[in-house]
Amino acid sequence: MLTSLLSEEFSIVEIEMEYFFLFTLSFIFLLFFPFSSAQMPGFVSLDCGGDKNFTDEIGLKWTPDDKITYGEISTISVANETRKQYMTLRHFPADSRKYCYTLDVVSRTRYLLRATFLYGNFDNNNVYPKFDISIGATDWSTIVISDANTTESDSVKKANYLVDVAYGTKKISTNVSIDINREEMPPVKVMQTAVVGTNGSLTYRLNLDGFPAMGRAFSYLAEIEDFPHNESRKFRLVLPGQSEISKAVVNIEENALGKYRVYEPGFNNLSLPFVMSFKLAKTSDSSKGPLLNAMEINKYLEKNDGSPDGEAISSVLSHYSSADWAQEGGDPCLPVPWSWVRCSSDQQPRIVSILLSGKNMTGDIPLDITKLTGLVELWLDGNMLTGPIPDFTGCMDLKIIHLENNQLAGVLPASLGSLPNLKELYVQNNRLSGTIPSELLSKYLLFNYSGNNNLNKGSRKNNQLYVIIGSAVGAAILLLATIISCLCMHKGKRKYYDQDHLVSLSTQNLESKSDGHAEVAHCFSFSEIESSTNNFEKKIGSGGFGVVYYGKQKDGREIAVKVLTSNSYQGKKEFSNEVSSRPSLIYRVTFSYYAL
């Protein structure tokens, strides 16, 4: 995994496989000899597993990859391999994580990137590894290591490469230095080798991994064979189905303006199939068959910008740059998420979970966490976080928040109650204070706030006031119901109200039924009953409704007064029935006391 590579574009990205096989996004073929690159301005060569700087035999300056904190270092020994950079390696666990190198680059600058892999049986298992590499969030290639003692040379007859290699194919080489004069700077040792089709053609069939796709294809040609001036080498590329490409005639010496100089014909935008077949065929006026030093086929990759949360989460990491968990590097979600992050499955995924329980985090909760708009779960419990709880209204998908067992202070933000999907809120064992927002108490929520001594549901005085108001309202309603019941007993009667009592306008005295007069119940005011019973002085019995008191009216008539003490609906109903059925025998008054 290589990260922070390019912000805009790059031209060639290459991997050297073993000695003879070079990948360039898709791959590059370099024929016959090990390749090495000449020093480029700003070029950095990392010796993986190395312990000091050195300069190799062709002038490349190598530095150790000691800035990466992951992986283990091993020493290997391969027969006939003496180059120092191939004597150490760094290897990583066979898990689902990613391990990243971070390279410092300049924006809008073109870079050539190569990575070389040599297994060397470092683990004594004789099992060749297979793994993926990517540039940031962009998938680069799948690496399959093979036997270091076996070439990938195109001169080996096999299903791919030179189809008719056994017939008419000749290998040639020179010790003369080659004038590269190209931006891509192909290795000199590669350009000092070539194959020639002595029978007039070279025929190839290639499997292009990752294709069909758009790409670029180039050949690197240098005339390294001496022949008389009256002879010539001219040939065409024959590409089935693309006649326009097949028209151009190549004369290497003329095109390169001399021998031992590089000529680089090619095409920038080609639609290439998975299986590519082509031929280099001499023209009718050529005395020499076609020559090929090297060729390069690049696949265009669509650059993946990665998670849109990359900037925000990088700002979060800046607070904990020395922590082990903050060293994973690269995009937080691609090609695989960091070990403490969960992401959505979108092409440009969002961070949905942060799992940082018990990571010794200190200081305030980083405000950049609130910029993760796709966040669903936040686990920051068991740390040493201080300061207030931030406003999470920018994270409307939040369902689970765990902030318990920290040292957070201040109030619970009312904005937490506005999160529509919040199901769990754990803030126990902090130093929170103030009143819990009513929205958090009224919604269905797994809510734990214990261990915050200064955090409460609300003022006790307010609670008492609610009780008093409720009691007063209940008493008023009951009193009103009593008055209405009394009024209903006197249908058809006109009444008038005095300041302290209610008197019937009927002048008819209560008589026995034998008098033949209609019977009515008489209503008395409380003050009249109080006077008649001398303030309820003499108790003469008790009944189902309450205590019975003795009384005497002003006209000398004796009365018995029952005081209804039950406030139940059934008691009132029976009271009313008895008044209606025995009006001449019973005189009653009901009253209640309400203490607030």
| Domain final residue, candidates 407, 428, 457 | 457
Question: Quick check: is 233 in a domain?
Answer: yes
Annotated binding site for ATP: 562
Task: Let me know whether 176 and 122 are in one domain.
Answer: no
Coil vs helix vs strand at 586: coil
Contact 398, 413 (CB under 8 A): no
- CA separation for the pair 255, 266 (Å, rounded): 13
How many other CB atoms are there within 10 angstroms of residue 106's CB atom?
9
Q: Give the SS3 label for residue 83.
A: coil
Output the known binding site. Answer: 562
Do 342 and 293 share a structural domain?
no
Choose one of 457, 490, 507: the last residue of a domain. Answer: 457
Domain containing 56: what range? 31-155
Same-domain pairing of 175 and 128: no
Q: What pLDDT is stored for residue 459 in this prediction?
A: 57
- Do 418 and 441 sit in the same domain of this protein? yes
Residue 312 lies in a domain: no
The SS3 assignment for 68 reads coil
Residue 138 dihedral angles phi and psi, to the nearest 5°: -95, 125
Q: How far is CA 311 from the centre of its chain?
A: 13
Number of domains in the chain: 4
Residue type, 507: T
Residue 351 lies in a domain: yes
Do 443 and 375 share a structural domain?
yes
Beta-bridge partners for 195: 171, 292
Is-above-0.75 flag for pTM?
A: no
Looking at the structure, do residues 40 and 140 belong to the same domain, yes or no? yes
519 lies in a domain?
Answer: no
Q: What is the CATH number of the domain that holds 435?
A: 3.80.10.10
CB 277 within 8 A of CB 238: no
Name the token pair of 309.
């949360």
User: Does some domain include residue 127?
Assistant: yes
Q: Is 246 exposed, middle or buried (0-12, 13-18, 19+ CB in 10 A)?
A: middle
What does the alpha-carbon distance between residue 193 and residue 189 come to, in Å, rounded to a whole number? 7
Distances 236 to 196, 221, 262, 285, 298 between C-alpha atoms, Å: 14, 13, 17, 12, 21
State whether 146 and 224 are in the same domain: no
338 is a domain residue = yes
Q: Are residues 144 and 186 in the same domain?
A: no
Asked whether 101 and 2 are in contact (CB, 8 A), the reply is yes
Give the closest residue to 173 by CA, choosing from 55, 294, 303. Answer: 294
CATH number at residue 542: 3.30.200.20
Q: How confident is the prediction along the chain (596 residues), in pLDDT tens digits per residue? A: 433 322 222 222 333 222 222 222 222 232 222 233 333 445 678 899 999 999 988 778 899 998 888 899 999 988 888 889 989 999 999 888 899 988 877 888 777 777 888 888 888 888 888 899 998 899 888 888 776 555 476 655 554 556 555 578 888 999 999 998 766 678 888 899 999 998 898 888 888 888 899 998 889 999 999 999 899 999 999 888 887 777 789 999 999 999 999 999 988 888 899 888 888 999 999 999 999 998 888 888 888 999 999 999 999 999 998 999 998 989 999 999 999 999 999 989 999 999 999 999 999 999 999 999 999 999 999 999 999 999 999 999 999 999 999 999 999 999 999 999 999 999 999 999 999 999 898 878 999 999 999 999 875 444 444 445 555 555 566 666 666 666 655 544 443 333 333 333 333 333 333 343 444 456 677 778 888 888 877 877 766 566 787 888 878 788 887 776 645 445 555 666 665 555 444 444 433 332 32
344 and 381, same domain (yes or no): yes
264 and 204 within one domain: yes
Name the token pair of 167: 């017939």
The alpha-carbon radius of gyration of the chain (Å, integer) is 48
Domain boundary among 130, 155, 180: 155
> Do residues 345 and 452 share a domain?
yes
Residue 113 lies in a domain: yes
Q: Is residue 143 part of a domain?
A: yes
Are 36 and 82 members of one domain? yes
